[in-house]
């Protein structure tokens, strides 16, 4: 009879090999899935500025920009665009004024002493009717055409901030107030007619020679001249009371 031998077998139990471990494994998996499923919210994608502008422009009513017309008709634009165009128009006018002032200053720099000193038979300003007649005869002589052009450039360089002031400054350089009160536009009341004098043509050319008043019309210049001669008597009285050489009215 054979004896049966039994050897003790030691079974090592490792963590995770039991049935409980089998229950634990899917639990860990679910935890990992829950961790991976939690994601931060993605930031909202904002539309590009150009897209926003396109959207807002489509929502804004675009009326016709009245007053600014093209060859094909009015130029449609929004209220903001119309305001921008108005600002550009304002800047354009300011640039034109600055350009005129720069041209005026340049013309004064370009004026040479030879142009400023013109040989004429009388001394300016004219202080008597006899000197006025002598100056008129000199202006009518065609032989003095080149000297008259130099005189025009010299008078234009006197300057002023607008057409009226330029006209008045030139007249004050040509005529003394004692003579100015003896001249008017039509020559009524025994006065000389400035409308018939060669000095009027000299004045028109001299004023328009200045860059600031280059676009002045004959009507504008003559209107300022009429006013200057009408105020000659008042200036003479003011000059005598104050004892100054010359007084220019404010308007």
pLDDT digits (tens, 9 = 90+) for 5-21: 554 545 444 444 445 44
Over residues 45-55, mean pLDDT: 48
Structural domain spans, the chain:
113-242
Over residues 226-242, mean pLDDT: 85
Question: Interhelix angle for 163-174 vs 145-156, to 10°?
Answer: 120
pLDDT digits (tens, 9 = 90+) for 181-220: 999 999 999 999 999 999 999 999 999 999 999 999 999 9
Of 74-78, 81-85, 134-138, where does the model show the most confidence?
A: 134-138
The model's confidence at residue 44, banded by pLDDT at 50, 70 and 90, is: low
Over residues 224-247, mean pLDDT: 80
Q: Is the pLDDT of residue 107 over 90?
A: no
Which of 22-31, 55-64, 184-193, 223-232 shows the lowest per-residue confidence on average (mean pLDDT)?
55-64
The model's confidence at residue 77, banded by pLDDT at 50, 70 and 90, is: confident
pLDDT for position 119: 86
pLDDT for position 129: 96
pLDDT digits (tens, 9 = 90+) for 133-171: 999 999 999 999 999 999 999 999 998 889 999 999 999
Residue 206: in which H helix or E strand, if any?
A: helix 198-209
Q: Which residues contact 61 (CB under 8 A, 6 or more apart)?
A: 78
Ordered DSSP codes for 91-126: HHHHHHHHHHHHHHHHHHHH--HHHH----SSPSSB
pTM summary value: 0.54
- The mean pLDDT value of the chain amounts to 76
Q: Which residues contact 234 (CB under 8 A, 6 or more apart)?
A: 249
Q: In terms of DSSP bridges, do strands 73-76 and 183-184 run parallel, antiparallel, or are they unpaired?
A: unpaired
pLDDT for position 4: 54
Q: Which residues contact 74 (CB under 8 A, 6 or more apart)?
A: 64, 65, 66, 68
CA distance 24 to 30: 10
């Amino acid at each position: 009879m054979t004896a049966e031998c039994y050897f003790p077998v030691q079974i090592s139990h490792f963590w995770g090999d039991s049935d409980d471990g089998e229950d634990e494994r899917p639990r860990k998996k679910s935890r990992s899935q829950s961790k991976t499923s939690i994601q931060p919210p993605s930031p909202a994608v904002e539309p590009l500025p150009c897209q926003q502008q396109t959207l807002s422009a489509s929502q804004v009513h675009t009326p016709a920009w009245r007053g600014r017309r093209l060859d094909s008709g009015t130029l449609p634009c929004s209220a903001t665009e119309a305001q921008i165009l108005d600002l550009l128009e304002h800047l354009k006018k300011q640039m034109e004024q600055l350009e005129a002032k720069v041209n005026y200053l340049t013309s004064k720099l370009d004026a040479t002493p030879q142009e400023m000193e013109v040989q004429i038979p009388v001394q300016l300003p004219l202080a008597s009717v006899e000197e006025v007649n002598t100056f008129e005869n000199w202006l009518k002589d065609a032989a003095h055409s080149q000297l008259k052009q130099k005189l025009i450039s010299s008078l234009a360089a006197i300057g002023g901030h607008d057409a009226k002031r330029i006209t008045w400054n030139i007249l004050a350089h040509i005529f003394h107030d004692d003579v100015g009160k003896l001249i008017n536009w039509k020559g009524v009341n025994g006065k000389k007619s400035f409308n018939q004098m060669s000095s009027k043509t000299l004045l028109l050319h001299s004023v328009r020679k200045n860059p600031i008043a280059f676009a002045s019309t004959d009507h504008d210049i003559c209107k300022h001249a009429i006013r200057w001669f009408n105020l000659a008597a008042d200036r003479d009285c003011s000059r005598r009371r104050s004892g100054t050489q010359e007084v220019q009215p404010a308007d």
